[in-house]
């Protein structure tokens, strides 16, 4: 598509989203939830057609030699579709965040001051191969009263376009504007750049996917970006740790799933407990196929570990590799996390209340755990019911982002003709 046409297309799409956003912001929860349930129904009814559309993407993926893991993510299996439909119904059943009034107070002059939770407006989501994001993101945006612009990966274009039609039909069935959720149908990469700079039509952009996508998008963006770049998560085993607990936590943090952003990448161990803790811990990792890279002091205890380089401490492996460092005290552990961490999720294992309090207060990450593995970093686990992603931003949503992160608070003041001065 030439630049001029793309520009026009995206601006028109943005203007339609802005208009629809005003309508869904006003919609009551009964209507929004009816639309979500209508989508679930259609997902089930039109399964064969969806799988036929999905097959086009799968054939192309195989022709292009996509990795099996990616093909797996791309596949709309019976199970994947059933989970998507169930997810829609779950989000429909959640309480509506919109309209909540908080911090209501009467001022001395009798005027009432309060904050009202309202939608952000138009949310753009940019993602890679998983077509289920089309449904999840549409549902979260709609439930929170926002319009959505969805831009999936080109390798899922047929699947996403088909899912977009299901969403549209669900919206219309409930009497909501079909433009409340639009799937970008051009595979032109410049479309992402447009979304990230159309500040008049897009209120926030959420990139989900690889680091390359997120980095590029953050650099271009004029629209606020809810994101995290890296998940270099640490578990620190304190001098006062229960070592059996520490082993279970560290093992789970690394091996629950290697590819998630909450996976532990560096294990920090207090020097006093390292001789007792590291030998059995290392054996468990090595038996499980995890490669260990250690500091010199670690290697003196764990000869199987290869030397860790400076770069290792700053690397998100997302793989069965773990860097291990021995520290002299909790202060050194916190300093290491400050220096190399990504402010995502970090954990301490300790039975000491003082150490737990200090770690939780001082570590400047979006989530800070005591006696829990970092792989709990997930909106469902926190009780948010659903999540659009995890943010390491400090402003607005931080950590797992649920429905509330897709809303904002405005001030509403009500009086009876009070004047100032």
Closest CA to 181 of 10, 16, 385, 401: 16
Residue with tokens 């008049």: 200
CB of 282 to a second copy, least distance (A): 19
Task: Indicate the residue among 242 and 329 with the shorter CB distance to a second copy.
Answer: 242
Taking CA atoms, 126 is separated from 31, 37, 118, 153, 195, in Å, by 26, 24, 23, 8, 9
CB of 315 to a second copy, least distance (A): 18
CB of 123 to a second copy, least distance (A): 11
Q: Token digits for 231?
A: 């998940």
Q: SS3 for 202?
A: coil
User: What one-character-per-residue DSSP string does 260-287 give?
Assistant: STTSEEEEEEETTTHHHHHHHHHHHHHH
Task: Indicate the residue among 118 and 163 with the shorter CB distance to a second copy.
Answer: 118
CB of 279 to a second copy, least distance (A): 20
Distance (Å, rounded) from C-alpha 56 to C-alpha 122?
30
Task: Indicate the residue among 154 and 408 with the shorter CB distance to a second copy.
Answer: 408
Distance (Å, rounded) from C-alpha 208 to C-alpha 214?
7
Residues that bind a second copy (CB under 8 A): 22, 25-26, 99, 105, 107, 111, 113, 116, 118, 120-121, 203-204, 224, 242, 245, 248-249, 252, 256-257, 338, 356, 360-362, 364-373, 375-376, 381-383, 393-396, 398-400, 408-421
Closest CA to 188 of 217, 154, 149, 162: 154
CB of 383 to a second copy, least distance (A): 6
CB of 166 to a second copy, least distance (A): 29
Task: Indicate the residue among 79 and 420 with the shorter CB distance to a second copy.
Answer: 420
Task: Indicate the residue among 113 and 169 with the shorter CB distance to a second copy.
Answer: 113
Task: Indicate the residue among 50 and 122 with the shorter CB distance to a second copy.
Answer: 122
């Amino acid at each position: 598509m030439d630049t001029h046409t793309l520009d026009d297309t995206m601006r028109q799409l943005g203007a339609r989203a802005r208009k629809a956003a005003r309508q869904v912001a006003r919609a009551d929860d009964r209507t929004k939830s009816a639309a979500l349930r209508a989508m679930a129904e259609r997902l089930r009814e039109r399964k064969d057609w969806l799988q036929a559309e999905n097959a086009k993407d799968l054939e192309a993926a195989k022709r292009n030699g996509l990795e099996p893991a990616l093909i797996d993510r791309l596949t709309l299996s019976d199970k994947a579709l059933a989970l998507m439909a169930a997810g829609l119904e779950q989000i429909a059943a959640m309480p509506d965040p919109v309209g909540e009034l908080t911090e209501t107070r009467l001022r001395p002059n009798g005027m009432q001051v309060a904050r009202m939770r309202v939608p952000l407006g138009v949310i753009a989501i940019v993602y890679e191969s998983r077509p289920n994001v089309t449904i999840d993101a549409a549902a979260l945006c709609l439930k929170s009263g926002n319009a959505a612009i969805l831009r999936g990966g080109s390798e899922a274009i047929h699947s996403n376009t088909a899912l977009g039609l299901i969403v549209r039909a669900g919206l219309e069935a409930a009497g909501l504007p079909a433009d409340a959720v639009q799937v970008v149908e051009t595979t032109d990469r410049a479309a992402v750049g447009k979304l990230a700079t159309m500040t008049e039509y897009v209120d926030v952009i959420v990139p989900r996917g690889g680091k390359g996508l997120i980095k590029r998008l953050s650099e271009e963006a004029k629209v606020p970006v809810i994101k995290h770049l890296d998940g270099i998560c640490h578990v620190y085993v304190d001098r006062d740790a229960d070592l059996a607990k520490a082993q279970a936590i560290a093992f789970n943090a690394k091996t629950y799933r290697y590819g998630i952003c909450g996976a532990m990448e560096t294990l920090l161990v207090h020097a006093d407990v390292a001789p007792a803790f590291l030998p059995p811990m290392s054996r468990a990792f090595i038996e499980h196929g995890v490669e260990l890279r250690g500091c010199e002091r670690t290697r003196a205890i764990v000869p199987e570990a290869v030397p860790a380089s400076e770069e290792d401490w700053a690397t998100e492996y997302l793989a069965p590799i773990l860097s291990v460092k021995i520290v002299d005290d909790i202060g050194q552990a916190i300093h290491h996390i400050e220096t190399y961490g990504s402010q995502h999720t970090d954990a301490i294992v300790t039975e000491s209340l003082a150490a737990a309090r200090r770690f939780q207060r001082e570590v400047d990450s979006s989530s800070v755990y005591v006696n829990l593995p970092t792989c709990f970093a997930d909106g469902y686990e926190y009780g948010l019911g659903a999540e659009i992603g995890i943010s390491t931003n400090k402003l607005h949503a931080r950590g797992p982002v649920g429905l509330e992160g897709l809303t904002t608070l405005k001030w509403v003041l009500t009086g009876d003709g009070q004047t100032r001065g």
